Structure 1
């Protein structure tokens, strides 16, 4: 008789345990990007069951209220949660290394390539802008190079020199743009949209700073400027006054 009672009690316990266990659904996401993460190991430390989620970041597992669940994946810090009565289990894993957003590589030319192309396109202008020595050496000795003097005085040569200055200025801006990029600034500030554009315009570094600084110095520059930006995001700096060269010899 006692054996029958014991059997009934065990059966009741088994049925109760089966009904208390829930087949739960869940998902694992990146805490930073909110994108789904696959091949995550999920362990129910109470029941000692272990599963892996699928390629879409989804999983199913049995859990009883009070069970402790742990999600683990290489390159991420583990995340722990206790199942109570959640409808969906959501693990949010933080990367254990610094996250750098994916940068799409395009066939954009480097500043040096663009400048060299401009030199080819405006070869005559560069030739006029650098006419050479004003003196020439002929059979009778040193003398004035008439062609060079003409080039120096001609309107075409003045326009050519103006053009080369513009091209050199454009080259410098391209160098800045190649390092001071929206992706880089967004990564260190979290700004986007109009705020990102406004920040990049207000705190655009100079060409000479860009060529003299390394990646760490540029990162510190952006972070320090962002501290100023947060104090007053709507602040507008006055543009620098134009430089005026006065020829006192005239």
Structure 2
């Protein structure tokens, strides 16, 4: 009788495990050079699940055949992936035609606490619940929370340090303006503490520094993950 119970229990556990694995989409995100990309946001817009790639570019996200994933990261063209099967996904991201640190176009309204309430709930630590301290789901949620908090800060900078505003203060247009804004983009802390005349003064002072740079220094380095060969020491 007891052995029969154990067999039923193991079969049930196996079924639940297999079912759980079938409900997870796995993959890896790389760039054109096959370099693995960490901290890339992967969102399943069908069930509103979200995750970040690991340091090795891998991701796991709950999903099923027929779902749609959006893969996005600053400096890269966002990619859309339709889940046609549950095979391992290899996603290659294309750098934006501009450069590293290029001015990002973000929607102004973004409240992650509302949009991703489940992430903030899972990120909480409860003293009597070890899984909230050491569980993978909880740790992933806390990592996402930090990502969202940084995104909120960057969007605030975007709302102040706009192309229209900066372009009204400096005689730059097009790619030159993009490069200038990338090179002298203020921090969130600066924007939060300075406004109006202080921001205008910062932009004008930055423009003087920009003019003093040699032409080759006025261009932001192209986005690349290639590892440069180390030079041998003499």
TM-score range, shorter chain: 0.3 to 0.5
Q: RCO higher in 1 or 2 (8 Å CA, sep ≥ 6)? A: 2
> Which TM-score applies when normalising by structure 2?
0.46
> Which TM-score applies when normalising by structure 1?
0.43
